[in-house]
């Protein structure tokens, strides 16, 4: 990856996978544009990265569920004609039945997981196509392959991210642009820590967690092989393979057990 005068745009960069990507691209000499909702935390991230790697870091603070904020990001991309890497990492989960979610939460999840990914991708592509060079990493989830096991809206939006990435990769491959659907399993991030607080049972203790650093290391390594789907970790690959052949009645039973536990 040639980093001369190039920029990497990362959403949700205050912690976890987004933060790890920020460090890895800064280490490669990329200047960064980082987004997040927590200003003080993002400013600390920027200070560390600037001191450690001597690159430029621009911060754009806001909530991706706000259409005006997303429009400001699109305007920024139009002005900045050097974005070679886009990482759509921002996301959140709600471990509740769909009918128990309020409408504002539903709209926020659709906006963050779907509208943001599509809008930012659409805005960076003209520059990437013109330069015939670019990388787009959409952070989906292993959960994209397990429809029906509760958290219906989260699973559906993550499945959208994955299928959008797969189709887009075919469209832009002739222009030298790489698109990756990154589908990690359980990861030591603020997101999964919050999800697991209500599930201190043996099942969650047995599930193999990966570090954000390992996830991003595998993601960047897999880009060299031009494969759109990236599932980090042997355990997660086995889970994915099983989900492809698991009879739907078994999926329904798992969903029922999960619902009863909640």
Which of the residues are catalytic?
154
Residue 152 in tokens: 């219906």
Q: Are 127 and 51 in contact (CB under 8 A)?
A: no
Residue 217 in tokens: 């290391």
Distances (CA, A) of 160 to 44, 80, 157, 176, 247: 33, 28, 5, 23, 22
Positive or negative torsion for Cα 202, 16, 114, 121 = negative
CA distance 149 to 252: 7
User: What DSSP string describes 136-204?
Assistant: EEEE--GGGG-TTSS-HHHHHHHHHHHHHHHHHHHHHGGGTEEEEEE---SBSSHHHHHHHTT--SHHH
Residues near 14 by beta carbon (within 8 Å), at least 6 away in sequence: 36, 37, 38, 41, 42, 45
Residue 172 in tokens: 């832009």
| CB hemisphere CA count around 7 (13 angstroms) | 18
DSSP 209: P
Residue 194 in tokens: 């919050």
């Amino acid at each position: 990856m040639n980093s001369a005068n190039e920029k990497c745009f990362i959403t949700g960069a205050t912690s976890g996978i987004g933060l790890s990507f920020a460090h890895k691209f800064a280490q490669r000499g990329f200047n960064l544009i980082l987004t997040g909702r927590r200003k003080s935390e993002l400013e600390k991230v920027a200070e560390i990265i600037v001191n450690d790697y001597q690159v430029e870091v621009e911060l754009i603070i806001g909530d991706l569920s706000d259409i005006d904020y997303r429009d400001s990001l699109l305007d920024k991309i139009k002005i900045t004609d050097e974005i070679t890497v886009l990482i759509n990492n921002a996301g959140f989960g709600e471990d509740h039945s769909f009918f128990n979610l309020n409408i504002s939460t539903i709209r926020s999840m659709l906006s963050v997981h779907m509208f943001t990914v599509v809008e930012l991708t659409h805005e960076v592509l003209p520059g990437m196509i013109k330069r015939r060079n670019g990388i787009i990493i959409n952070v989906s989830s292993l959960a994209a392959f397990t429809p029906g096991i509760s958290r219906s809206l989260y699973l559906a939006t993550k499945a959208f991210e994955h299928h959008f990435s797969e189709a887009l990769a075919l469209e832009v491959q002739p222009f030298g642009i790489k698109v990756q659907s990154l589908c990690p399993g359980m990861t030591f991030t603020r997101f999964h820590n919050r999800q697991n607080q209500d599930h201190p049972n043996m099942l969650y203790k047995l599930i193999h967690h990966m570090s954000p650093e390992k996830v991003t290391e595998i993601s960047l390594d897999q880009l060299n092989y031009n494969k759109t789907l990236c599932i980090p970790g042997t355990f997660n690959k086995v889970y994915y393979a099983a989900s492809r052949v698991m009879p739907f009645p078994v999926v329904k039973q798992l969903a029922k057990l999960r619902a009863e536990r909640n």
